[in-house]
Amino acid sequence: MKITFISDTHTRHHEIEADLPGGDLLVHAGDFMNSGYHKEDAQHFFEWFNGIKGYDKKIFIAGNHDRIMETNSPWAKTELAKFKTIDYLQDESYALYDIDRDQSIKIYGSPWQPEFFNWAFNLPRNGKEMQMRWDAIPDDTDILITHGPAYGYLDIPGNKNMHVGCELLRERVNVLQPKIHVFGHIHGSAGYYFNGHTHFINASVLDERYTYMNLPVTVEWDAT
C-alpha cells in the first residue's frame, strides 16, 4: 500500500499537485488555509482535494490556521458532505482495509496543539484538556495524524534553538508506539525521524517563508 503525506499547504496546494505520485492513500495534516476565516479558501481546498486523481482514499485534519473548521464546524460539515472521496477527521478514527495483507490500517486524526497565539485548536500546554485529547487516541492506532509534533521530534522552528512540540503528546506516542506519526505545523523541521518504534514525518511542504520547498512524502506501508 502506497501512502503520500502532505501538510501546511496554506492555499498553495495547486503548486504541489504535479509532485503527487498517486497511490492508495493521501493524507493532509492540516493548515490548508491562511487566516482561516474565508469560506472560499476552505471550499477551494475541499474541491481540489476531492478532485485529485490517482488515490483511492484521501484523509485530512485541520490545523491552527484552519479556524473555520473550529468556529463554523456546522458549515464545514455540510460543505464536506458534498464531497465523496475525502474524509475529515477531528478526534476520530478511520479503518482503511489493506486488501494485499487482508487487514485494516487504523488511522486517527486530531488537530489540537499547545496554545499558539490566538490561532485555532489551541489548548493550554500540559493542561488536563490536552491530556484528555491524547488519552482518547485508541491504543491500536497504526497511523497517527496530528497537526503539531510531539515534543522533541522534528519540532524546532528555523529561527529558534528550542523544542516547541507537545510534551503530553510525546508521552502518549511513546506509549502507543504507532507505526507512523505524521504532522506539520513547524515548517522549519520538515523531514523524517525514526526512534526505533515510530516513523515520525513532518510533512510540511512550505518553508517558513511559505515557499513550496519540501516534496510530498510517499511511503510503502509495511505492517511489520
Per DSSP, the residues of 13-47 read GGGGGGG---EEEEEE-S---SSS--HHHHHHHHH
pLDDT at 158: 83
Closest CA to 44 of 14, 7, 73: 14
State if pTM tops 0.85. Answer: yes
Closest CA to 150 of 165, 134, 136, 129: 165
DSSP 65: T
* Domains observed in the chain: 2-220 (3.60.21.10)
pLDDT (tens digit per residue) in 153-188: 999 998 788 999 999 999 999 999 999 999 999 999
Residues of the chain with pLDDT under 50: none
